Structure 1
Amino acid sequence: MAFPKQVRLVEVGPRDGLQNEPEPISTATKLELIDRLGAAGLSYIEAASFVSPKWVPQMADHREVMQNLARLDGVTYAALTPNLKGLEAALECGVEEVAVFGAASEAFSQKNINCSVAESLARFEPVLERAQAAGVRVRGYVSTVLGCPYEGEIAPAKVAEVSKALYEMGCYEISLGDTIGVGTPLKAKRMLEAVSREVPMAQLAAHFHDTYGQALANLYVVLEEGIAVVDSSVAGLGGCPYAKGASGNVASEDVVYLLNGLGIETGIDLDKLADTGTWITQAIGRPNRSKVGVALAAR
């Protein structure tokens, strides 16, 4: 297989990257982060999460964030809406795209959202119906696609089954998440082979965590198979909640550097992106987990 000519990056830093931060981050800082990411050329930014502040206090200002965005033409500002209540709130704020979250692991689903995989999928049906009625596109996430903190190995067939269910329900794109970052290239390839038999490759995205330092290697093999959408987080923001001190999301700067080296277009200004990573990590007092960001800042 040949590499795609173009790759769309889905920037999850403002949502997935910040949601587990223990200290409150001001709405102004979140908005500036989103502005800077848009200015660096990111065309898809996950800006907020419409979940109960009781569960994710950091996202309590989701309305303020969505309503005060300085929207740029050609940039999609999306939000995570796990249920109908979250979706209704997001629609009131003029959201243009939302995401729902499923898992390929029964144990993870029970521990994370207190229900089985089948029950979680059934809960999304009214969310998708309402979003479609409002003309809002829905992206589906599948977590634990390459391993689970509770179950260990996850069968590729199970990932394919959950992905197919979300796709048939109406999700236009399915993002395959290695939530705990345990995947390796061969596993990633086998998982993708199974899923792409059920969902067209053009409707799939890779969301790989770098807990074990394998994210870029895993991305390389799935790009080779035809994946053309990659989720990443500026400065590698967002630790892995199941591995203390472990890095979480793959850093956007590292992904862009890899793609540039492969001659794949992203439309992203790497220097501006790296500056944004330096700025946000200093603003929230976190280490910059982007190897490329740190190297560029040291030049």
Structure 2
Amino acid sequence: MDTRNKVSSTAQTNISTMDGYLAEIDDISASVKAINRNIDIISELHDTSLVSINEKQWKQTSKQLSQLVDETSAMNTSIKNRIKALEASNSTHPKNSDLNIRRAQVSRVKKEFLNCIQRYRDVEANFNQKYRQRVERQIRIVKQDVTEDELDAIIDSDQQNQIFAQSLLQNSRSGQAKAVLSEVQTRHDDIKRIQKTIIELAQLFEDMQMMVEDQGKVLDQIETHAENTNADIEQGVTHINKAIVLARSTRAKKWCCFFITIILAVVIAILVWWFAFDHKGVGGN
């Protein structure tokens, strides 16, 4: 797989448009799947290396591993940068429904990528342990009294590895000793490459995790804003309902007062009329 083509195709994608953005998301997702396939092959090559029985086969497998690890590392860097570009695009995008879709999609591919990185880390850590165990067994064949500290020094230190090689060649000229030395030196390089990959993956995972956390803060702010808006709406509806009830109550009281006033006016009019005419009638008699 040519990772340079991947990078150049990214530059040609117009992620400012929704179609271009979603196309880039799909392309990144496909690249993550390609990395997962590379991890499968890397795992197979590690297995092959561990059961290799001659130096030529070790070196051939080691070369294939080195090339594939370098290619996968370049792909990881490319994907991280492309996801950053998507994030940057979102930061300048208008706040509308499209922005929510964009954020959800980039969050999805970030999680896919994080899972891929973690899987790669697990594979490398597992084989790092297996390589060390293989080297330890080989060293103990020619140096049975070696201590754990000495083993760690031989495996991890270039200087101690060379000292061990010189000591082994001086004390033994047997073909077995030379074969062990050849494997120890080859495995030493393999272990160093694996450890370098593990360190790079740890940093990459941390970088991506920070991006996920930052995105989570943005989403939390959106959710909080939405909750506050809903609360304001509910509070507003409550106030409106109270106002409606109050208005109805006030209107009812006004009508009640109106009818009472009318009734009182009628009663007063009747009383005035009654007493006025009754008084005249009595006087006439």
TM > 0.5: no
Computing the radius of gyration from Cα coordinates, the structure with the larger value is 2
Could you state the TM-score of these two structures normalised by the residue count of structure 1?
0.19
Q: Which has the larger share of helix?
A: 2
Could you state the TM-score of these two structures normalised by the residue count of structure 2?
0.19
Q: Which has the larger share of strand?
A: 1
